[in-house]
Amino acid sequence: MLEQHIADLLNHPKVVETRHHLHHSIPKHDHLLRSVRFSYRLAQILGANQRVCTRAALIHDINSRYGTLTTHGAIAARWAAEQGESDEVCRAIVSHMYPFGPHPTSREAWVLVLADKAASLGDLKQFVVGLADGRSWRIRRQLQQSDPFHHEQRRQSIKWRVRHQLRQQVPFYRHRRRYWGTQRHKVL
């Protein structure tokens, strides 16, 4: 049974909190569970270890917001290793973004690559279906408003836009950093 492989992880606070994180414009928890279901089925078809595949699938995007397209696999794998997950699970997680990132090195890793891509298509379908009754935008808005991470991201992007505009339009601003750097150097 699928649940027996991941029962302990489902109650982990890190997994539970993904219910409130936005990922592919839907709750990340939905994406993780969808990946688990695809991994379970694909592991059966391809003769891979179902326990390794389902555990890797449930963890594969944990803390992904702190990385990039190519690095978040390594971040999730590090977290998995800290939790005492096996090498096979961590190895599968590291390469789940292939071809954007490392090459998969095991059968289980390939299962996760395929399951993640299939789940992403499922995420898109969920979002598009939810557009009809406004559910998708409502969930998206709710998650963006309740998640401090989005406030910080928005703040940073506003700050960046203001600086960018200043650099474009105020000639002195372009040299401010160099000027202050020189002054500090002189004082020291």
Q: Which residues bind Fe ion (CB under 5 A)?
A: 61, 116
Nearer to Fe ion by Cβ, of 5 and 96: the residue is: 96
Nearer to Fe ion by Cβ, of 121 and 170: the residue is: 121
Q: At its nearest, how many Å lie between Fe ion and the CB of residue 96? A: 6
DSSP H/E element including 23: strand 22-23
Q: At its nearest, how many Å lie between Fe ion and the CB of residue 40? A: 15
Q: Scanning the structure block, which residue is given the tokens 């409502």?
A: 138
Nearer to Fe ion by Cβ, of 5 and 28: the residue is: 28
Instruction: With beta carbons less than 8 A apart as the criterion, state whether 35 and 78 touch.
Output: no
Q: At its nearest, how many Å lie between Fe ion and the CB of residue 165? A: 33
Nearer to Fe ion by Cβ, of 50 and 64: the residue is: 64
CA distance readout (Å), 147 to 64, 140, 141, 158: 15, 11, 10, 17
Q: Is the dihedral of CA 100, 125, 135, 40 positive or negative?
A: negative
Q: At its nearest, how many Å lie between Fe ion and the CB of residue 50? A: 18
CA distance 125 to 58: 20
Nearer to Fe ion by Cβ, of 108 and 116: the residue is: 116
Bridge partners of 27? 22
Q: At its nearest, how many Å lie between Fe ion and the CB of residue 170? A: 40
Q: Which of 66, 64, 55, 63 is nearest to 33 (CA)?
A: 55
